[in-house]
Amino acid sequence: MQTNLQAALLALSLDRSSTAPLHAQLTEALRALILDGTARPGERLPASRDLAAELSVSRQTTLTALDQLIAEGYLAARRGAGTFVARDLPHLSPPVQVPADGPRAEGPSALRVFQPGLPDMALFPHGTWARHLDRAWRSPDPGLLGNADPFGWPRLRAAIASHLGAWRGLDCSAGQVIVTSGSVETFETLFRALFAPGETVLIETPGYAPMRHAAMTAGLRHQPLPVDNGGAILPTEALARGAVVSPSRHYPLGVTMPLARRLALLDWARRQGTWIIEDDYDSEFRYTGTPRPALAALGPAQTIYVGSFSKLFSPTLRLGYMVVPQPLLDRVRAAMARTGPRASLVPQPALASFMESGEFAIHLRRMRRTYADRRAALRAAILRLLPGRVTLPDDPAGMHVVCHPGPDWGNRPDTDIAARARAHGLGLRALSAYWPDGDGPQGLVLGFAAFPPDRLAEGAATLARLFAQAEPGKASVRT
């Protein structure tokens, strides 16, 4: 069988015209050789350097593919000996093939330049993550094999508390941290735990649509909180049972709530005897100075802090968290008991060790430097190629920019510009579409974090051509 494996490896070819990355193609091909029995348990694979030479790819490509298969359990690395097919494979047989005339699962679509809300997964430390995952489960802690705490793996909760103390100014204990499967589960749990059906909650408009849907599903009434350049505006007579705000950086407007308005919001919560849910969206990405302290650092007794790893680490990790004041812990535990914990335990010990080692902070700093450069490149391209078409606030934070109409914007609504941009391969969004009825102010939302400077410049050039093709001679749209 050794000869068959070598022949199969020799026959491997990677499609350089495909949208799928080379390392992903190689991972899939090697996995198929293992599943169909060509590569048998215990069989040794060629060295990464030799495999890279045979395929005419970089060694990093082969290392990334091998690390991924090691993390999945298909391969095992032995120090000084090489990489071998695992003896206890995670699958006993290849996946069932779907008939040619049956429904087909669609693969991931290619990223479109300016698509907002996405981190650059090329920056993800794949090899480091694989090592932490391997160490966590090769000889697992006995606690991982018993009845897990629905609040999450204790070491991860402690690591999150330490991270929030250093980066967000929160003075919280590990016991207040609850690990979830993401922000949607977090909001669903909090709405069940804190409020009764029929009660009113203040929600920013525009805001996070899945969160608004979670409130409706819980039977809550939601009163819109308008947002201006200083963030959410608290109504004079706000008789609600709670509020959901994103004071550090609002999405999509990118504005930050000033201290005076934060203190007024906390004072309202104290007087009403109610709660504020703080959605801390991408606040770590501030490129001048240090990140602003969280609202929960100013009013920990009134505020439930909500965070996620989707922008800091990977959206595929599907892990989020909340920091809950001590008096609410029993109510949150009871709410979670209705559905049981939904956050996977598998990545939690690996993420804990990744954070404890300091590698998470190093990764975060690297992302901040890279995203700062990309933001600068995008701003320079827009100011050079679209003068007069748009105005661009100098907001030194986040993963996207908002372009507002300039004097030469023209007569096309932002939704039409966004549709035309999509037809030309761009992923920007119309600002007005973020309002529930699509009637918000005109503008364009451009993500930059996931794209290198040359692609951002090309996208800006395409956008400039689309503006130049706009019909002249009509009245300007409402701004």
**Interacting residues of 276 by C-beta distance below 8 A, sequence separation 6+:** 242, 243, 244, 245, 265, 266, 269, 295, 299, 302, 303, 304
Q: Residue 79's CB: how many other CB atoms inside 10 A? A: 5
- pLDDT score of 476: 40
Amino acid at 390: V
Q: What is the pLDDT of residue 105?
A: 60
pLDDT value at residue 479 = 39
Q: Which residues pair with 322 in a beta bridge?
A: 178, 306
Question: pLDDT tens, 305-326?
Answer: 999 998 888 888 889 999 999 9
Q: pLDDT value at position 204?
A: 95
Per-residue pLDDT at 478: 40
Give how far Cα 127 sits from Cα of 66, 132, 146, 204, 284, Å. 9, 9, 28, 40, 24
Where does 45-197 show beta strands of DSSP type E?
75-78, 82-85, 177-180
State the distance between the two ends of the chain, measured CA to CA, in whole angstroms: 69
Per-residue pLDDT of the chain (479 residues; tens, 9 = 90+): 344 777 787 778 788 878 788 888 899 888 888 887 888 888 888 888 888 888 888 888 899 889 888 877 888 888 888 899 888 775 544 444 555 566 666 656 678 999 998 899 888 889 999 999 999 999 999 989 988 899 999 999 999 999 999 889 999 999 999 999 999 999 999 999 999 999 999 999 998 888 999 999 999 998 999 999 999 998 777 789 999 999 999 999 999 999 999 999 999 999 989 999 999 988 888 888 766 789 999 999 999 999 999 888 888 888 999 999 999 999 999 999 988 889 999 999 999 999 999 999 999 999 999 999 999 999 999 999 999 999 999 888 999 999 999 999 988 899 999 999 999 999 999 999 999 888 899 999 999 999 999 999 999 999 999 999 865 544 344 43
- 154 vs 408: CA distance, rounded Å: 56
pTM for the structure as a whole = 0.76
Residues 114 and 427: beta-carbon distance below 8 Å: yes
Structure tokens at 288: 């001048």
**CB-based contacts of 244, cutoff 8 Å, min separation 6:** 187, 201, 202, 203, 204, 207, 211, 215, 276, 277, 279
